[in-house]
Amino acid sequence: MKLFKSLLVAPATLGLLAPIAATANEVTINDFNAAEEIAVTNSRVDGLEARLNNFEAGSFSETTTASFSVDTVLGAVDGAGDVGTDSLESTSFDFQFNIGLSTSFTGEDSLDIAIDNGSATASTMGGKMGFDTGTSLTVDGVTYSFPVGGATMVVGDSTDLSTAFTGACTYSSFTDMTPDDCGTGNSMGASGKGVTAALGYAFDSGFSLAGGITSGQSEILGDNADAFGINAAYSTDDYGVAVAYVSDDMGEGTDSTSFWGVNGYYTFDLASLSVGFETSDDGTTEKSGYFFGLSFPEVGPGSVNIAAATDQLYADSVTEYLVYEASYTYPVNDAMTIQPGIFIQETDGDDLTGIAVKTSFSF
């Protein structure tokens, strides 16, 4: 009898609970407004995006890039400087650290800043390699380049006079003793390191023209305070030639010194030959110097460079001293390169001989 009553009561109870459950579900669904919730979520996302945009506006521009490089050299030098002096023997480790910052405002212009530092004091090896010194970060140059018609204009401070010049040298020096730009560092690679304005134009045919002027910060375009130069070059995939003239009048109380330089390259099947010749004339003495270099771009996994050159410009009546170097450049990966090499510098005493391993990192 009890089982029979339970069977009768159960359906009745379920019938009473069903409307209550339906009512509860209706209240829950009605309380949740999908459109309203989505609007609130979008509002919160917009607010977060606005905060991120404000943060980015106060940080680096999206067009600003930074590049970093570290060079180290471990090497030994043996030899004498002058007749009668003790032999110089030294082993040392040197480094230099460089930062390059670049940004564009229009997509066609470029504001560039170079920052350098290095070992506290350059050792003999560091000096021969031309490494930067000083543990403090130093601004090495500020330039702004922009198009003017079809040409490129460059203005800046602590900027090379030859910044817009085009050379014809494919050789990459191992040491700083082989003159820059295939022996034309005073003309094709003229520095000046002052307030500089330069203009360059490259024609579609491979021909280019450039000119520049540099003045000291304390006196722009004043007496004994400026240097100017012009450059012309022609290059193809197989050969090229460039010539430059520079007149330097930046020494107070000194006569102007003029430099002529010409360099060129020719590419063979297995190697590339680079040559250079430069003269100087200060009104009383004429000097000259030359350079020869061979580059073998594919020797095993790396490349070989061999060169011989006068270590400076010499007058005809003065004994010339040559410097020789040979190096092997091996790229370990895209960011690291190892370059062992050797150099010999002639002197009026024992020749100076050095062996070094240079390691370069870029990131």
Number of structural domains (the chain) is 1
Q: Bigger pLDDT: 227 or 40?
A: 227
Q: Which amino acid is at 101?
A: L
Instruction: Quote the percentage of the chain above a pLDDT of 90.
Output: 56
How far is 80 from 352, CA to CA, in rounded Å?
6
Q: What is the mean pLDDT of the chain?
A: 82
- Confidence (pLDDT) at 103: 95
Q: What is the pLDDT of residues 132-147, one digit of tens each?
A: 888 888 888 899 999 9
- Confidence (pLDDT) at 249: 80
Q: What is the CATH number of the domain that holds 94?
A: 2.40.160.10
Instruction: Please list the residues that pair with 298 across neighbouring strands.
Output: none
- Confidence (pLDDT) at 252: 54
Quick check: is 7 in a domain?
no
Quick check: is 22 in a domain?
no
What is the domain range of residue 137? Answer: 52-362
Q: Bigger pLDDT: 179 or 142?
A: 142
- Confidence (pLDDT) at 39: 60
CB 86 within 8 A of CB 349: no
Given a cut of 60, is residue 5 above it in pLDDT?
no
Instruction: For residues 3-7, give the mean pLDDT.
Output: 40
Q: What is the pLDDT of residues 110-138, one digit of tens each?
A: 999 999 999 877 788 888 888 888 888 88
Cα–Cα distances (Å) from 111 to 102, 105, 107, 214, in that order, read 6, 8, 11, 19
Strand segments, DSSP code E, in the chain are 65-79, 88-103, 110-118, 138-148, 151-159, 194-202, 207-215, 226-235, 239-249, 257-267, 272-281, 286-299, 302-310, 314-315, 322-333, 336-345, 352-362
CB 310 within 8 A of CB 290: yes
CB 144 within 8 A of CB 110: yes
Q: What is the pLDDT of residues 53-75, one digit of tens each?
A: 554 444 556 778 999 999 999 99
How far is 99 from 117, CA to CA, in rounded Å?
9
**Residue 104: pLDDT band with limits 50, 70, 90:** very high
Q: What is the pLDDT of residues 206-261, one digit of tens each?
A: 999 999 998 876 666 666 568 899 999 999 999 999 999 999 886 555 678 999 99
Q: Among the listed ranges 84-93, 294-303, 331-340, 353-362, which one has the minimum average pLDDT value?
A: 84-93
Q: Which two tokens stand for residue 240?
A: 């090229």
Quick check: is 355 in a domain?
yes
Q: What is the DSSP string of 278-300?
A: EEEE-SS-EEEEEEEEEEEEEET
CB 182 within 8 A of CB 272: no
Given a cut of 70, is residue 322 above it in pLDDT?
yes
Given a cut of 80, is residue 334 above it in pLDDT?
yes
Quick check: is 14 in a domain?
no
Instruction: For residues 28-51, give the mean pLDDT.
Output: 56
Assessment of whether the complete model's pTM goes beyond 0.95? no
Quick check: is 27 in a domain?
no
Quick check: is 90 in a domain?
yes
- Confidence (pLDDT) at 70: 95
Quick check: is 183 in a domain?
yes
| Maximum Cα interatomic distance, the chain, rounded to a whole number of Å | 139
Nearest to 352 by CA among 322, 328, 312, 327: 322
